[in-house]
Structure formats: C-alpha cells, structure tokens
Amino acid sequence: NAPPPSIAAPAPPPIFRDPERPVASRVADLLGRMTIEEKISQLECASPAIARLQIPAYHWWSEGIRGVSRAGRATTFPHAIALAATWDPELVFRVASAVGDEARVKHREAPSAQYHGLTYWAPATDLARDPRWGRVMETYGEDPYLVGRMSLAFIRGLQGDDPRYWKVAACVKHLAGYAQETGRHETIFTISPRALREYYLPPFREGIMEGKAALCMAAYSGLNGFPGMANSAILTDLLRGEWKFEGVVASDWEAPRYLRSKYHFADSDEAALAAAIRAGTDILFQKHTPYTNLLAAARSGALPETLIDRALTRAFTVRFRLGMFDPPERVPWSKIPDAVLGSQEHLALAREANRASLVLLKNSAVPGRLDPSPILPLDGRKLDSIAVIGPYGDRLQFGVYESEIKAAPPVTLFRGISARVGDHVAVRSAPWFDLDESKKGRAHAKKLEEARRGQKASIEAAIRLAAQSDVVIAGLGLGKKNEFEGKDRLDLALPKEQQELIERVCEANPATVVVLINGGPLAIDEIDANAPAILEAWYPSEQAGHAVADAIFGDFNPAGRLPITFYSSHEPLAPLGEVEVSRGQTYLWFKGKPLYPFGYGLSYTRFEYGALRLDRAQASAKDLLQASVEVRNVGGRDGDEVVQLYARRLTSSVPMPRKQLCAFRRIRIPAGQSRAVMLPLRISDLAYWDEARRAFVVEPGAVEAQVGASSADIRAKAEFRIE
C-alpha cells in the first residue's frame, strides 16, 4: 500500500494576530504588511476596513462626557460642571465606570459605526477661566487642582483597572489654553510661560502622567505662534518629551481644514496636513476625507513614511490595548452584559450624582412671615398646594452631549415633586413659551410675535397660579440657545423674560424656591435679594426631578459646592479674550466680592471647625505636609461637609495667587458628631514657573495654610515655612 500523503502543518497566524506577543511587536508586524495607501487610510478618523488583512473599519469619534451620547438609548448623567460640584472624585470615578460599561455594550452593537467606538472624547480637561465661555458646562470648573482631580477620576473610571486591556480609551481635551468659542477656529493666543505652566497645563499633566490617558485632543485655537494641531512645542516637546505621553493625539472636528482656510498656515492642504503630523498629530478628525491630500504629501516627500508609521504605531497600540484584535473571551470588558445599558443601578447612580451635585445657594425665612426658620426643607404635611412654574418647571434642559434616547422618561421638576408629595398635595404647573430670536425672516418674525403673545399669557398664568399656592418652585436657567459649543455669552444674566417672571412671582408669593438649570454661572443679585431659597441644579441627569425633590423636602442634605465663581455681573470681568488669569480672573486672582465664591454651598445643618494642625513647622520642596482639623456637626441633621485646604504665600519675590486650593475632602458627619479630617499638602504645588530657568521653583519663605468651607469662608489658619 502507498504511504498516506503528508499533511502540511497549518501556517502560524500572523504575529499581529497572536495575543501572546507583546503589543509593540504586533503593531510593528501589522505595519510591515500594509501598503502606503492602506497606511494613509488609517490616519483618518473614519478608518476604513482593510479586507485583505481582515482589519475591520473603525470610527474614532465617540462622545461620553456625561454618558454615552448620540448612540441611541443610554443613561444621561449630570453634566461635567455638575459632577465637579460634587467635590467627590470617587463618585465621579463610579459615574465614568458606568459610562464605560455602557460604551462597551454600544460597541458590541455596531463595532464600526460612528459613536459606537471605544475611543471617547472625554473628559474636557480645560479650565473655565471666564464664566461667559459657552462650554463651561463641559468642564470641571476654574481651579487647576480641582479640575485635575476630577479629570483623573473620570479617566480611571472610564479606562478601567485591567493591566492589559482598557475598558474605554479616555481623551483629555483640548490642549492647550482653549477657553472661548469666539474666533476659536482662527485665533492664536499668546500665553505667558507662567500662566501656561501654572494654570492651563497642570490638569492635562495630571491626566496624562498620573491617569495614563490613552488619547489627547489638540485645541482648535492656536498657542504662541502655531495652530493647536500643528504646535510641535506642545504636542512633541512637552507632551512626548517632558510628559512621556505614548498615546494618540487627535485633531478636533474639521480642524485639519482650518489649517489652511482659517490660519493660512500652509500654501496647500497637503503641506498643512504634513505639518500637523510632523508636529505630533496622529489622527485627523475631518468630515471630508483627507486621504487624497495625504497621499499626495507622501508621494511628494513632504510626509515621510517614517512619520506615518510613527502616527500609526500610536493609533494601533490604542486599538490593541482595547482588545480589538484579540478573541473576545480574552478581554474581560467584552463580558459586560447588555443589561447594564440604562439599568436600574445606573439610574440610581444618576440620581445619586444628581443629588450630590446640588448646591444650596440661599436658604432664608420667607419675607413678611413670622416664622424665622429657613424655608427649606419643605414639610409636605403642612402644604395643600404647590405651583411648579418657569421654563424648566415641567421640562428639562440637559445642555450638550446628553443621550438622545434616555434610559427612562426624564423626570422633570413637576414630575419629581408630584411623585414625592403624592395625592394629598395639589401640584400644578403653568405652560411656558420659548422665544427663539436667533432665526431671521418674515415667516419667523410672525411666529416670534405669536410666541411673545403666548409667553406673556404664560407669565400671567404663572403669576395667578403662584398667588393661589402655598409654595412656588420656579425652574429657571439657560439652554442651548444661550450657551453651547460655538457660542459664548455676552453677559451672565438670565433671559429677560425669566427675570420678569421671577420678579413678579416673588411679589405674588414670597414663598418661592428657585431651581437653576444651567452650565455657566449666573449673575442673579435680584433673585438672591427677593427669593428665600435658591438651589443650583446645573444641567442634570434624567433623574433630576427626583433629586431636586429629595433636596427640597429634606430626604437628604444638599452638600454640593461651587467649582466656579458666581459674579454679581460680567462688568468686573476681564475681556473675554484675556488669557492671562493673573489679570483678575478666577478666585485665584479676582480682588472683588463675588455673589457666591468658589467652593461655596450651604447646608441644612451647621459645622464648626477646630484648630488647624500641621505635622511640621518647616518643609522642603519635596515634602508632603499633613494638615488635620476636627470638624463637628453642631446642627440637627446629618450632612456632608466639603473641607477645603488653601495655601497663601506670605512672602514671595514674584506675584502669586491670592490663595490656591491644595486639598479637599467631602466627608459625612452625623448630627452631634465630629470627624478628624486629614488633608495632604504637596509643597511642590506651591511652585512658580521660573521663565529664566525654564523650571518650577519652590521659593523659600512663609506660607499660610487655610482650612474652611469655601475660598471665602476660612475657619482656621496655621503658618509654616518652606526652607
């Protein structure tokens, strides 16, 4: 009999398909198999499939700053500015982790679709130096330390804790100095080295060096001579050189097109795109494919293949770290069940985060009444009727980047309050007509006139309803026509029709509680003078009505604190384009008296502070000084206190901030009890950037440590010296 034919051993899989190999080897193997045309196609945000290598298409653009956005049903959490108001990084971590879980489910639904990827343009690590900025809602406020802590928590929650695979790749944005919409596509700001290093850059440094963020987005705006995505001093020297960033730098949406059309940075699109990649940008985020221009740049020699490989090494490393080239069973995050999407657990977390973000701005007795007690919390047993009025009485405004299809029907103030009090209290609302004055034309003018008549009637109806009710809950605030990406505000006022409404409502019924729905700060001096209670609710979660009702009726004690200063007017502010914060911007440098200071927030209870104790009287630049203080709840309710530690230089050879936040802790203290609060102070945080030495310098001298309930409510002080 003839011997059986030999059976050839199966060919081993390509190295890039072998999950046992190091990621660097796999990426190098993959790039070695790709043609120049295939490589260039992968520099685009919408990267096409490469069929012969069985590489699926991938879209880098997904949004998740406060929940999975633009991808159908998902949980909408409070906006970033609201999360910052919690002063609770652990809670922000849990929110981000939930967003990451839902992102994994969405990716499984449509792995190659836009908004279904695993690279999320979040968090926004920008600093809100000016309250008029249209994107304040997307930030964690005005303070570098607070923004850094919150960004770090969000990054860690989103990316997960697996040593091999990221759950989702987080992106810190927008590097660097971006803080206004006006002229953002064509303005190059000149920012001093001190302002850049001491104010704008620290949160990004923390997100990258401590948080290990996978991606970084370059700003639309330019900095010190170069557009954001073509600034090698930032994207290469600083980001890669100093901070050792190994991830992907992405341009912002359509930014590649603006290099030539707005900035006139190069004579051709090919030259502009080549300059961006040469400067350190890796992924080009553009509607109309840049493929043709990139290919022309490569063939002309303006874009060497070595630079293309450099960009793609970073890009594919991220995709490998997300497990996109490995069997799903090896990736722990692929096992997240579909049931987490909009789950009851996530809705409960949205409500918890919403509650923690509420800032009680005012709580006093009702004017003209004998009872001296603050109006809040309300006692539903003593009420027969409640009027819920205003533009956000029975409608919610979420700001930008909410989930288009909520996990559950959004809970308005009217619905939340009605559910809380039950049938024994009559809860009534009045309709509201919105005015859209942004559109032009005769047809719209006619509609606008009709809307004005409708709004006038709705105001009159609200006044009548207020006069007939025991208590009024007025939902006021801003929306997408007032502040959003692409539009800054001219002032800090509420819309005029809302000012008229609340003035007349307070006259008709002094027992009025104002609930604010907004992103950026508001100048509300007259409301503060007339309404006995004001609750800042920001752009909330879909559980907003329940959270606000919980606070108003005392089911929990509100303890949110302002992550940004509320001014009495826009008039004391520097011009919108002023980038040097030392010229009077933020609590760090502002010398006037704000309406509500940074870190401010009231409680239904009272806290007393003991002496501030430091573990040493002298410290060196590398030391971690430990501060401690005993805080006692001397009121009648359990509550959270946000203990804030500031430092003020008593001696310095250069101008320094009036004070700066160095540590904080949100802690729950039962009524009648006290807690010892430990707060670490890094002496290196007190450094200034020496422009001559091009280095941070901790200057010897006296420092005053301050602990208190806000930047303006300091309860105890202690001095130490830096040697």
Distance of CA 336 to the CA centre of its chain: 25
- Name 64's Cβ contacts closer than 8 Å, sequence gap at least 6: 99, 100, 103, 120, 121, 122, 158, 168
**C-alpha torsion 199→217→61→101, nearest 10:** -50
At 508-543, the pLDDT tens digits run 999 999 999 999 999 999 999 999 999 999 999 999
Phi and psi (nearest 5°) for 516? -100, 130
Share of the chain above pLDDT 90, in %: 92
Phi and psi (nearest 5°) for 259? -55, -40
Tell me the domain boundaries of the chain. 357-589, 607-722
| 441 pLDDT higher than 70 | no
- Give the pLDDT of residue 4: 62
| 29 pLDDT higher than 60 | yes
- Give the pLDDT of residue 3: 59
Angle between helices 269-279 and 305-321 (to 10 degrees): 60
At 638-677, the pLDDT tens digits run 999 999 999 999 999 999 999 999 999 999 999 999 999 9
| 58 pLDDT higher than 90 | yes
- Name 142's Cβ contacts closer than 8 Å, sequence gap at least 6: 127, 128, 129, 563, 564, 565, 586, 587, 598
| 549 pLDDT higher than 70 | yes
At 259-273, the pLDDT tens digits run 999 999 999 999 999
Average pLDDT over residues 385-394: 98
Are β-strands 688-690 and 674-682 bridged in parallel, bridged antiparallel, or unpaired? unpaired
Helix (H, G, I), strand (E, B) or coil at 128: coil
| 7 pLDDT higher than 90 | no
Helix (H, G, I), strand (E, B) or coil at 624: strand
| 693 pLDDT higher than 60 | yes
Which CATH number among 3.90.1150.10, 3.40.50.1700, 3.40.50.720, 3.40.640.10 corresponds to the domain 357-589?
3.40.50.1700
The pTM assigned to this predicted structure is 0.96
293 vs 228: CA distance, rounded Å: 20
DSSP letter assigned to residue 673: -
- Give the pLDDT of residue 446: 74
Q: Answer yes or no: are the C-beta atoms of 619 and 700 closer than 8 Å.
A: no
Are β-strands 385-389 and 471-477 bridged in parallel, bridged antiparallel, or unpaired? parallel
At 62-105, the pLDDT tens digits run 999 999 999 999 999 999 999 999 999 999 999 999 999 999 99
Among 592, 591, 597, smallest CA distance to 661 is for 597
- Name 239's Cβ contacts closer than 8 Å, sequence gap at least 6: 175, 208, 216, 245, 249, 280
Among 92, 93, 99, smallest CA distance to 76 is for 99
- Give the pLDDT of residue 313: 99
Phi and psi (nearest 5°) for 555? -70, -20
Q: For the residues of 15-81, what is the DSSP string, one character each?
A: GGG-TTS-HHHHHHHHHHH--HHHHHHTTBSEEPPBGGGTBPPEE--BB-SSS-BSSSEE--PPPHH
329 vs 332: CA distance, rounded Å: 7
Q: Which two tokens stand for residue 103?
A: 């992102």
H or E stretch including 261? helix 255-261
Would you place residue 719 in the very low, low, confident or very high pLDDT band (cuts 50, 70, 90)? very high
Are β-strands 688-690 and 695-697 bridged in parallel, bridged antiparallel, or unpaired? antiparallel
Phi and psi (nearest 5°) for 449? -65, -40
357-589 shares its CATH topology with 607-722: no
Q: Which two tokens stand for residue 66?
A: 């406060």
Q: Answer yes or no: are the C-beta atoms of 253 and 285 closer than 8 Å.
A: yes
- Name 365's Cβ contacts closer than 8 Å, sequence gap at least 6: 371, 372, 373, 374, 375, 532
Name the average pLDDT for the chain: 96
The alpha-helical segments, DSSP class H, found in 122-162 are 144-159
- Give the pLDDT of residue 74: 96
Q: Answer yes or no: are the C-beta atoms of 557 and 667 closer than 8 Å.
A: no
- Give the pLDDT of residue 288: 74
- Give the pLDDT of residue 453: 81
- Name 414's Cβ contacts closer than 8 Å, sequence gap at least 6: 388, 393, 394, 427, 429, 545
Among 648, 680, 627, 379, smallest CA distance to 511 is for 379
The CATH superfamily holding the domain 607-722 is Immunoglobulins (2.60.40.10)
How many helices and strands (H and E) does the chain possess?
19, 27
Q: For the residues of 356-381, what is the DSSP string, one character each?
A: HH-EEEEE-PPTT-S--S-S-S--GG
At 346-378, the pLDDT tens digits run 999 999 999 999 999 999 999 999 999 999 999
Q: Which two tokens stand for residue 71?
A: 């991808």
Burial class (CB in 10 A: 0-12, 13-18, 19+), 370: exposed
At 223-264, the pLDDT tens digits run 999 999 999 999 999 999 999 999 999 999 999 999 999 999
